[in-house]
Structure 1
């Protein structure tokens, strides 16, 4: 069964992007990392939010610009949006609702993981009860403001089970299973 896994890097104070979606804070943490390599090998498709798809690219002007995982991953991307671009984008499809976006990503992933990118689409998957895991790399930096890992209105607790704790390169990571 395909796993839907929210994949992100977060600052120690809980932000996955800076103010205005700034992603430049990530650049000091790029580099070879066996844990990231494993994530890329295990990911068969990406389910991406529109802001993440069209957002700030920390690799602007460098190799890997506008490519998932800096060009280290290739495969089908499904972008959840009500505003698809006018022109086709190779390797990318667009869906206007969560159900069809997830179905397309799961079909494209085969027996591999669907990587969920973007705080809003991850929150929608969580609210729909279809998010299976959260994989977060914790960068040793405090951003102070920006896009939070999760915005969760209503105060409902969501139980998680720690599945993996690791440290490779400079950034530790945690993988949780979402308990239902």
Structure 2
């Protein structure tokens, strides 16, 4: 059965996007091979993203590397939104309910990961007790402002258990 994994690259001060969703800061940190990211890409069976993330800034916009995993991901994508487009892009399913979006993405992923993209969807998955794992890559930069990895003032404490990995911070959500 598919697992729900939130993965992101963050600045050392905990931001995954700059002010206004700016992702240009990430471009200089996407160089070289990353064995963990390559392993993850091979294990992703579907993507679940929020509408802001889906339609947002891409540090590789306008290049051959545009899209998820530097343009290397070519599989089903599900977008959680209450405002689907009149004509959805091919291969993208727009869903208005979190539980339905997760169920559809898990079905599409089979026994592989559903990779959650976007802080808001990740927060909603945690609140609903649906998230299984978190994988965070840290870039050596301090952004100072923007979109946090997780931002829920007054939110509940969530326990995590480390998953051994040498190049990233990967955790299992303890239920």
Say whether the fold is shared (TM-score over 0.5).
yes
Corresponding residue number in structure 2 for 1:110: 110
Q: Which runs of 4+ in 1 moved over 2 A?
A: none
3-state secondary structure, aligned to 2:70: helix
Q: 1:126-150, CA deviations, whole angstroms, 9 ceiling, x for partnerless residues? A: 0000100100001110000000000
| Gap runs ≥5 in structure 2 | none
**Residue number among 158, 166, 177 corresponding to 2:172 in the alignment:** 177
Corresponding residue number in structure 1 for 2:90: 90
d(CA) in 2 for partners of 1:142, 1:72: 27
Q: Post-superposition shift, 1:179?
A: 0.7
Matched, 1:149 2:149: yes
Q: 1:114-171, CA deviations, whole angstroms, 9 ceiling, x for partnerless residues? A: 000000000000000010010000111000000000012324211111112322xxxx
Q: Post-superposition shift, 1:34?
A: 1.6
3-state secondary structure, aligned to 1:108: helix
**Partners of 2:6 and 2:115 within 8 A in 1:** yes
Q: 1:86-136, CA deviations, whole angstroms, 9 ceiling, x for partnerless residues? A: 112111000001011001100110010100000000000000001001000
d(CA) in 1 for partners of 2:71, 2:90: 14
Corresponding residue number in structure 2 for 1:130: 130
